Structure 1
Amino acid sequence: MRPDDWQLTHDPDEFTARAAGFLRSRPALHTVPLTVLDALRGRGLHLYGEEAPLFGVLRDPEHGIRAAFLHTPPFPLHLTPIGPDGAEALAARLAEAGHPLAGVSGERGAAAAFSAAWRRLTGTPARIERRQRLYELAEPSAPQPPPAGRARVAGPADRDQLMRWYDEFKDAVGQSAGQGAGPWADARVARGGLTLWETPDGTPVSMAGATPETAGQVRVAPVYTPAHLRGHGYAGAVTAEVGRAAVAAGVARVLLFTDLANPTSNGLYQRIGYRGVADFAVWAFGD
């Protein structure tokens, strides 16, 4: 497999024409590129940063598209599942072009193979930053016993609260880049994409969002409860409600990612009906 087998473009429409069928053929495993691509096409190429995104597909003359990636600087490149040869060819193509990378994310094997090739070709140190598991909602259920209170869809009056929680969430997961809290909250509220759990007196205590539906699926993200309010079942209750509402609306698949370093959240999501699909990893490049 040669580096030139990877076809690169900065044009999201060109990438969509090449890769849409491939990405939709395994929508759960391709949830990140599907949702990111929809967001870029709907809200502008610079949604995630000032630099133009880069897209690519690995084309096999006999079997069509075998893999794809997208890179929205300053975030890590995201790579679909691919074997070591394909990962090596992509690393060589990008290294030859002098394309800078902060890291790589994707299915565990693909991310590891690309990371090893990048380290060897560029001499750049690489380290595992996060191990994740992708879950799919299989048997929806509410946490038992449920916490006191109720779920409701966030509205314009919640904007300040949502902005604060978004910034706190980014700090908690170590994310410094991306869109600002104001535009993020406005876009989510405009489409009803955030749900709050509030106590009986009406105080919001947790939130869960969902991506727009694409390829018959949504992904629950983010889920956040302030540190001093954790341990009461709020996150489980609001996440269960987001999943229930999506299923009721006819969504075929409800997905979410967890950090494997957090056994509490992994156990919680399994108790409310989520089952593991695949393991992913995020690698960081540099010292």
Structure 2
Amino acid sequence: MQYRKLHDADLDAANAFLADHAATSMILRGNLRTAGIERRRHPLSGSWFGAVANDGAIQAIIAQFGNGNVFVQAADNQTVPTQLTEAFLADPLRPVAGVFGEADQAADMLGQLGLAGSEFAINASDILYGLDLANLVVPVNARADDFQMVDAEKVERSTLLSWLRAYEIEALGAEDTPVLDSKVASRLVQSLDARNLWALIVEGKAVSLSGFNAQLPDMVQVGPVWTPPEYRSNGYARILVAKTLLAARARGVTRAILSTDSEAAAKAYEALGFEKIGRYRLALLKSPMQLGKMSAA
């Protein structure tokens, strides 16, 4: 077994490995499909490390992307190979902003990186949901003319920025600082370019937002989903998510996943047919931390 940095020659093996663990690898799969392994100047490029068997098959992956977030995939194991963590730490890396992955694996990664006792904006083991889109339960009024889904680009930019900012603070524990403005603006530009963000219009007003934060020909990951407090309890988010999934199904997507730690949101998703399939950890540090070679356990 080799524990090393991955290269373009490993692309097929990485895709095959991640496809076998699709529900907990959507960001990894999406970024790999879009940016590959060694397209360093692409906004979604990253540094990829793998546990590579003698036959070239990959059995675990650690990847860090430009925003500092680290994603892990260790198949059906609860831990990440320490030799892989050592290889990751031995290579020049960005300050770590957060760790994401299957809940136990991400917690193990935090421990190996010496981050378990750090201050987090959020460190949540969300419930992971999956849905075969053939079983999507469409709200009765979702197709009514009163509810229109539009590309987010048709909504005022100031509204989108305000909503995404509020989402980051409420859902992801972000601090209300000028730095957040820059982060939200960058995220909005990427979403509009990718055309993966939509709004629900009711009586001429935008009332809810939903998107896909990862999408592949066969599968999408739902998020962010945001409804301003003044428009909540009307079922708007459920209607909009259903509409986005209907559109995805029409172009051949067969499965959707999402994660949440909100009881209210969970009820809305379950009403659409989503079922619990595991747990996914989102661990975002309050401030990025630069790690050294001696951080591994």
Normalised by the size of structure 1, how large is the TM-score? 0.79
Q: How many angstroms apart in 2 are the aligned matches of 1:246 and 1:24?
A: 19
- Superposed CA deviations along residues 212-271 of structure 1, whole A, max 9, x for unmatched, are 64251112221111122212111111011111111122112122222x2x1111111011
Check conservation: 1:88, 1:117, Cα contact below 8 A: yes
**Cα pair distance change 1:170/1:148, threshold 3 Å:** farther
Which residue pairs with 2:11 in the alignment?
16
* Structure 1 residue 77 displacement after superposition: 0.8
* Structure 1 residue 36 displacement after superposition: 2.5
Check conservation: 1:220, 1:242, Cα contact below 8 A: no
Which residue pairs with 1:37 in the alignment?
32
Q: Does 1:80 align with 2:78?
A: no
Match of 1:25 among 20, 35, 42: 20
Which residue pairs with 1:203 in the alignment?
205
Which residue pairs with 1:7 in the alignment?
4
Q: Does 1:174 align with 2:173?
A: yes
Structure 2 stretches lacking a partner, 5+ long: 288-297
**Cα pair distance change 1:76/1:270, threshold 3 Å:** same
Overall identity of the aligned pairs, in %: 20
Q: Does 1:129 align with 2:129?
A: no
Instruction: Give the alignment's Cα RMSD to 1 decimal.
Output: 3.4
- Superposed CA deviations along residues 32-54 of structure 1, whole A, max 9, x for unmatched, are 20123344459974636xxx731
Greater shift, 167-176 or 23-32, is seen at: 167-176
Q: How many angstroms apart in 1 are the aligned matches of 2:227 and 2:57?
A: 44
Match of 1:59 among 52, 55, 63: 52
Normalised by the size of structure 2, how large is the TM-score? 0.76
Q: How does 1:1-287 map to 2 (within 5 A)?
A: 5-9=2-6, 13-14=8-9, 16-40=11-35, 45=41, 47=43, 53-61=46-54, 64-82=57-75, 83=77, 86-97=80-91, 99=93, 100-119=95-114, 125-126=117-118, 129-138=123-132, 139-143=135-139, 149-154=146-151, 156-160=153-157, 161-172=159-170, 173-175=172-174, 180-182=183-185, 184-190=187-193, 192-199=195-202, 201-211=203-213, 213-258=215-260, 260=261, 262-283=262-283
**Cα pair distance change 1:193/1:210, threshold 3 Å:** same
Which residue pairs with 2:294 in the alignment?
none
**Cα pair distance change 1:113/1:188, threshold 3 Å:** closer
Task: Report SS of the residue matched to 2:138.
Answer: coil
* Structure 1 residue 177 displacement after superposition: 6.5
- Superposed CA deviations along residues 133-180 of structure 1, whole A, max 9, x for unmatched, are 222223211346769931322254324132332222223223466975
Q: How many angstroms apart in 2 are the aligned matches of 1:181 and 1:79?
A: 24
**Cα pair distance change 1:44/1:206, threshold 3 Å:** farther
Structure 1 stretches lacking a partner, 5+ long: none
Q: How many residues align?
A: 273
Amino acid at match of 1:220: V
